[in-house]
Amino acid sequence: MKRASHPTGLLFGPPLGTRVHAWRLVDCLRHGAYGVVYRAVRIGQESAEPVALKMAMYPWDPRFMREVGLLSLVHHPSTPRLLGHGFWQHPSGAFFPFIVMQWVEGTPLYEWAREQQPTSLRVRQVLAQLARALEATHAAGAVHRDVKGDNVLMRHSDGRAVLLDFGAGNYPCAARLTWELLPPGTPPYRAPEAWLFERRSEHVQDAHYVAGPADDVYALGVTAYRLVTGEHPFHARLRQDDAGAWHVEENPLPSPRELNLRVDSRLSDLILRMLSVSPEERGTARELAEALETSAARLAQEERDARPCSESPAPTEPPQADPERLQPQVEARNWKARSAWALAGALLALWALKAVHAPHNSASMKEPVTGGTTHLGEAASKETPPPVQSSFQRETISQEPPPEPYPGQLTPNAKGRCPEPKQIPLNGGCWGEVNTKDAEECEKNGWVLTKGRCYAPAMDTRRKPPPTSAPPDFR
């Protein structure tokens, strides 16, 4: 008998205009590995505020019910509200789960930082809001497991940071959906103890790392470090002792202040605390939120005390850019690099003067011009950019050479060859080229753009197969 044809998955999701229970799909926002996010409106109330409707790409996908369970437990201004969920029936008869959430109109965190160049005070406020969101998540017994800047939106209406995408999260009594050693996550944001567990347990039957609140705190630290420096921190490596046991070896990590002098020492220390190799030294999300809020209040008071008693009239000329704005910058590592870049800058300047004075377009070489709406009481002002900064400043991490290998990343053999033919040895690690030259897309996925090519770390994927007793949907 010929089997009925049911789709194994939706390639692009339902078309716009499709009715999904009480909502109609009006715009497609983004595609993920397992779902499509739409802007939708309630039928009959099209003028009301829209909602975010997330549709599964596969029938009966258990990940969506897991996300529903987690969102129903977490309630905080910096997390999206769950508004509904259900199943949409495809014309073939297959059922696809969907989730309806509060609509958040905003800008991704790292993009917001590039555009706004936030002050030290503003960075503290943003990190405190995210720490409070994690506090609420952890208080419900849950963990997010994928905290990163790409899962944070800066809401336009009030400037609040909102933590999104709880699809990789976990909570008590949630069904296990993966049979890998490590749970879902993004490699640069994974805590050292997770990599250590993977190395120690790669031959242990049924071993599975259970991420906890400390993993979320570490990921928030990576997010903060990346926010103010433009770099992901790489400071923990795995080392095998003479007895064959694996340990985490902490390498000196440049402080955020070393990479960006506009980061004050108190903020720099708080970020390094979150990145401690020891989970206990990081503190809880609540402790970090309190520390950030206290530090923000102290800094705001210091700024008020430094102002004159009477404000002078507004100047007729535009004011200079605020020197306290955090523009990611990295000092050259040695005098040779400084000299080379300085010479290149001088030659470029001479060429520009001789030619047509072409405008310089690099966003990383100028201070921002603030405008538009204000956030959390900050005064709106227009600022002119100061003179171009030193030429060894860079725009994003994606322009750097590949970092040192991640824990668990494959490395070349003694002959300098990687295990697979398509893997490329770079800087002591094996990397796979990704078919994209888009720096934003490359960095969003935690990959690295080098010499115009995007590379992803080649991780050791030698794993045991899933238990034969596991249901097919859960493999």
Do residue 56 and residue 148 come from a single domain? no
- Cα–Cα distance list, 131 to 111, 163, 294, 395, 424 (Å): 20, 10, 13, 27, 38
Query: What global pTM score does this model have?
Result: 0.65
CB of 291 closer than 8 Å to CB of 355: no
Q: Is the domain of 118 the same as that of 251?
A: yes
Q: Which of 102, 127, 144 is the last residue of a domain?
A: 102
- Same structural domain, 140 and 196: yes
Question: What pLDDT score was predicted for residue 368?
Answer: 37
- Element (DSSP H or E) covering residue 91: none
pLDDT of residue 407: 58
Flag whether 79 is in a domain: yes
State which H helix or E strand residue 245 sits in: none
Assign residue 23 the CATH number of its domain: 3.30.200.20
Give mean pLDDT in consecutive 10-residue pieces for the chain, a chain of 475 residues: 40 81 90 83 91 90 85 93 93 91 94 94 97 96 94 95 89 68 84 86 81 95 96 79 76 90 94 94 96 94 76 49 54 43 47 42 36 35 38 35 64 80 80 76 69 75 39 32
Residue 462, in any domain of the structure: yes
The CA radius of gyration of the chain, in Å to the nearest whole number, is: 24
Two tokens at 292?
Answer: 């950030």
Name 293's Cβ contacts closer than 8 Å, sequence gap at least 6: 124, 128
Domains of the chain: total = 3
Query: Do 89 and 169 belong together in one domain?
Result: no
Q: What is the pLDDT of residue 302?
A: 87
Token reading at 270: 């708080």
Domain end (from 78, 102, 126): 102
Domain assignment of residue 424, given as a range:
393-470
Is residue 410 a part of any domain in this protein? yes
53 and 74 assigned to the same domain: yes
Per-residue confidence (pLDDT) for residue 439, from 0 to 100: 74
Question: What pLDDT is stored for residue 381 in this prediction?
Answer: 36
The C-alpha angle with vertex 176 and arms to 171 and 177, in degrees rounded to 5, equals 115
Q: Which helix (H) or strand (E) holds 305?
A: helix 285-306
> Do 130 and 94 share a structural domain?
no
Say what the pLDDT of residue 335 is: 41
Which of these three, 55, 82, 102, is where a domain ends? Answer: 102
Q: What is the pLDDT of residue 415?
A: 73
Shared-domain flag, residues 297 and 412: no
Residue 12 burial (CB < 10 Å; 0-12/13-18/19+)?
A: exposed
Looking at residue 252, its pLDDT comes to 81
